[in-house]
Amino acid sequence: MIEYSKLKEKPREFLAVTSLTDEEFQALLPTFEKCYELLLPPKLKATKKKKQRAGGGGRRGKLPSPSEKLLFILVYQKTSPRQVAHGLQFGLSQGQVNYWVHRLLPVLQVSLAEMGMKPLRKGKEVAASMQASEGGANLSLDAAERLLQRPVNNDKQREKYSGKRKTHTDKNLLLVNENTKKVVYLSETVDGKKHDKKLADESKISYPKNASLTQDTGFQGYQPAGVVVQQPKKSKKARTDSD
């Protein structure tokens, strides 16, 4: 089972499953705890006097502390597991995982927004963003794909099939500030079939003045106005193999 007290002692593994270092986790935790308390549904008033359980009594939950709750939802967001598999990692049933995911995701979103860590979702807002220009507008663009179970419907299968990954996926564009390593912009989710360049064109990202952009060959031909684009070229061997 995954526990925060044990996982934090393994920095590499901690970063791999949460996308955060323990220092970043600790910086996020107080805001997450505050937002969790604010978003809790109000307790119903008792209609008659009931027995009061002594402090500390009762069964201890699998996510007893704010740190365990934050770890649970960060791992879920980073690894995109099936709920059954995620439950096995935290000692929860599939139903309990579903409950906690729906309860904690809004808390995480509000927490990230309050700390200015939530990526932009509209491409036209990137140019005016401080996150994009922090340390200099040195940006990197890439597409991230998440594996899906193969859809039953044949039309859906074709839409979700990624020739690049040779499997069925959903896809998003990520624009990252290379100086801060923070995600500045996250595109809408699209089918894995869509080409990287086409998705970049449709996102209509506006870039800061004098920005530089690193991108891979999946964006061949993507050249935003006023942006210095750095893109690796195919090696002679790769070109020969593709001919």
Q: Residues 6-46: pLDDT tens digits?
A: 999 999 999 999 989 999 999 999 999 999 999 876 665 65
User: Does the pLDDT value for residue 59 go beyond 60?
Assistant: no
- Mean pLDDT of all residues belonging to the chain: 88
pLDDT of residue 6: 94
Cα–Cα distance, 180 to 183 (Å, whole number): 9
pLDDT of residue 40: 77
User: Does the pLDDT value for residue 56 go beyond 60?
Assistant: no
Sequence-ordered list of residues with C-beta below 8 angstroms from that of 174, at least 6 positions apart, any chain? 141, 142, 143, 144, 183, 185, 186, 187
Summarised one tens digit per residue, pLDDT across range 180-221 is: 888 999 999 999 999 999 999 999 999 999 999 999 999 999
pLDDT of residue 66: 95
